[in-house]
Structure 1
Amino acid sequence: MIVIFGASGKVGRATAAALRSSGQAVRAVVRNAQQGSGLMQLGCEMAIADLLDEASVASAMRGADAVQILCPVPIADAHPANTMHRMIDVTVAALRANPPARVLALSDYGAELESGTGITMLFHALEMQLKPAVQNLTLLRAAEHMQNWARVLPAALSTGILPSLHHPLSKRFPTVAAQDVGRVAAELLLDSGHANALRTVSVEGPQRVSAPDVARTLSELSGREIAAHALPRDAWAPTLLRAGLSAEHAKLITDLYDTHNAGLIDAQVFGERRFGTTQLSEVLASMLPSNATAER
């Protein structure tokens, strides 16, 4: 039995689907029953768990041969770092109590850095706590998800301006489709050749892109002229606050992009690398409203 936490998300669903296609028994862990209908159609066993409750998490892991761990950054939370640290503590305690044969943890590019990375520091904390607790651990560090551009698509389509925190605009950065992360995760969960070892794998898409590449692709897909715009540094926090994030969450994001723009976040030099096959254009097209797609 392979247990997938966060199975209703884009990465978790892709992992579950790939595992089921290969004939594996999968237990999909979700927060509520409404999230499970599509996963049940895949043939997954369902489990509901509260990631802040150790008994709930331990119950979801019971009998697992392998577990895919996800500790998501809480979005609508005034103190997201504190909440995620509690999730990590709960998850690690459950794993220590009844360790499965293999654990794969979803992490981020830059998680090896010990300071200054904002949100990614939370994944650093996850990795640091898992390493002494899990004998056979795979850390799957993903580049920035292509799906993250969904947050600014409505503004870009309505104004013709694609705001970007990537500076300078010409900088090409790694990005990856969430479904490719899930498929790579499934491959790694099925690979039993690294028993009793720590494995670090970085995954990104088929090519690196810049913000103007994203804007150009959106223009081609929508038939509207869209240009990338480097959002001034002093506008980052106010923009994020207007988007509904808490002050602490906004600070985690601004710290991350300061470090990213300094060129300090990338695939780790020492470790395996995998590359997805999904193109940026495929992901952006899937996120556009049907009336925003250019006729071809």
Structure 2
Amino acid sequence: MFVIFGAAGQVGKVSATVLREAGHAVRAVVRDRQQGEELARIGCEIALADLLDTASVARAIEGAYAVQILCPVPRAHADPAAEMRRMINSSVDALEANPPQRILALSDYGAEHASGTGISTLFHYLETQLKTVDTQLTFLRSAEHMHNWTRMLPLMLARGVLPSLHHPVSKLYPTVAAQDVGVLAAELLLDDRALNVSPRVVSIESEQRVSTFEVARTVGELAGSQVIAREVPRGEWNAMLQAAGLGERYARLIVDLYDAHNAGRIDFEKEVSERYFGATTLAQALAGMLPAVAAVAASR
């Protein structure tokens, strides 16, 4: 049995689908029954779990051969870092009590740093805590997800501007499509070649690095309008993020992350990481996102 946490998400759903298509039994773990309807249709067993509830996590992993664990950043919480650490601790307690043969954790570029990288430090904590579980561990560290641009597309389409925390807008940085992460995660769960290596650290990014300038240009070409990338002055970051609805502590995690990005600290860890490349291009990913965003904008 392969147990996939966060199975309703963009990465987890792909992993569950790949494993089912290969003929494996999959238990898809979601927060509510409605999220599991599509997964049930492809033959997944559905389990409900709350990562803050050790007992529900324990029930979800019962009988598991392998577990794919995702711990999302609770962006709506007043203290996202503290809440995510509680989620990690609760999940690790359940995994320590009944360890599967394999665990694959969805992690982040920069997770090797214990401090100074904002959100990435939470994935450092996830990796550190999981090392206490007696199992074969794989940490799949992915670059910035291309689908994160979905949140900015309405602004780009309406105003023709892409505000950027990446400085300068011409700077190339790694990104990756969520579906490529999901496919690789499933393949790694099935891979027997490195069973004597734990933790196994794997990184994934797209074959081509991109810049914010390129993102704006590509959206403009796809939408048939001009979009300009604009650097947001460093002193305005906090105010902009909080005006967009982010809490003060979540905004601080974002600010610290982009300070680390701009200082060149967020990348794959060359010394320990196996490096993989996703085939999805920026243009392909954005072309997949635009129709839904444009449809919503048109309906208003």
Aligned residue for 2:278? Answer: 276
Shift of 1:223: 0.1
Matched, 1:14 2:10: no
- The aligned counterpart of 1:206 is 207
- 1:94-152, CA deviations, whole angstroms, 9 ceiling, x for partnerless residues? 11000000000000000001210001100000001111224300000000000011111
**Count of paired positions:** 293
Higher mean C-alpha deviation, range 282-291 or range 153-162: 282-291
Structure 1 runs, 4 residues or longer, greater than 4 Å off: 290-293
Secondary structure of the 1:288 match is helix
User: 1:131: which partner in 2?
Assistant: 131
Q: CA deviation at 1:290?
A: 5.6
Aligned-partner Cα distance in 1 for 2:204–2:98: 29
Q: Deviations over 1:5-32 (max 9, x none)?
A: 0000000001001111111110000000
Aligned counterpart, 1:69: 69
Distance 1:57 1:226, change over 3 A: same
Matches within 5 A, 1:262-273: 262-270=263-271, 271-273=273-275
Unaligned runs of 5+ in 1: none
- Alpha-carbon distance between aligned partners in 1 of 2:282 and 2:141, rounded to the nearest angstrom: 19
Aligned-pair Cα RMSD in Å:
1.2
What secondary structure sits across from 2:239 in the alignment? helix
Aligned pairs (5 A) from 1:34-45? 34-45=34-45
Amino acid at match of 1:220: E
Contact 2:169 2:229 in 1 (8 A): yes
Say which is worse superposed, 98-107 or 154-163, in terms of deviation.
154-163
Amino acid at match of 1:279: T
Secondary structure of the residue aligned to 1:275 is: strand
Shift of 1:195: 2.2
Partner of 1:47: helix, strand, or coil? strand
AA in 1 matched with 2:78: A
Q: Give, as a single letter, the amino acid of the residue that structure 2 aligns with 1:214.
A: V
Measure how far apart 1:181 and its partner are.
0.4
Q: Which range moved further: 116-125 or 189-198?
A: 189-198
The 5 Å alignment of 1:139-154 reads 139-154=139-154
Q: Hey, what's the Cα distance between the residues in 2 that align with 1:62 and 1:31? A: 17
Change (3 A) 1:290 1:33: closer
Secondary structure of 1:78's partner? coil
Q: Provide the residue aligned with 1:189 in structure 2.
A: 189
8 Å CA contact 1:103–1:134 kept in 2: the answer is no
TM-score by length of 1: 0.97
TM-score normalised by L of structure 2: 0.95
Superposed CA offset, 1:146-169 (max 9, x none): 001111111111111111110011
What residue ranges of structure 2 are gaps of 5+ in the alignment? 296-300
The one-letter code of the counterpart of 1:282 is Q
Partners in 1 of 2:276 and 2:195 — Cα distance? 20
Residue pair 1:138, 1:201 contacting (<8 A) in 2 also: yes
Q: Give deviations 1:71-107, integer Å, cap 9, x for gaps.
A: 1000211111111000110111011000000000000
- Cα offsets for 1:208-266 (capped at 9, x unmatched): 00001101110110001011111111111111111111100000000000011000110
Letter of the 2:282 counterpart: L
The alignment partner of 2:100 has SS state of: coil
Q: Which residue of 2 aligns with 1:93?
A: 93
Match of 1:161 in 2: 161
Q: 1:292 to 1:71 in 2, by over 3 A?
A: closer
Please say if residues 119 and 257 of structure 2, whose CA atoms lie closer than 8 Å, have aligned partners that are also in contact.
yes
Higher mean Cα deviation, 216-225 or 125-134?
125-134
Q: Distance in 1 between matches of 2:239 and 2:130?
A: 35
2:3 aligned partner: 3
Contact kept, 8 Å, 2:96 with 2:132, in 1: the verdict is: no
For the 8 Å contact 2:67–2:103, the answer to whether it is kept is: yes
- Mapping of 1:105-116 within 5 angstroms? 105-116=105-116
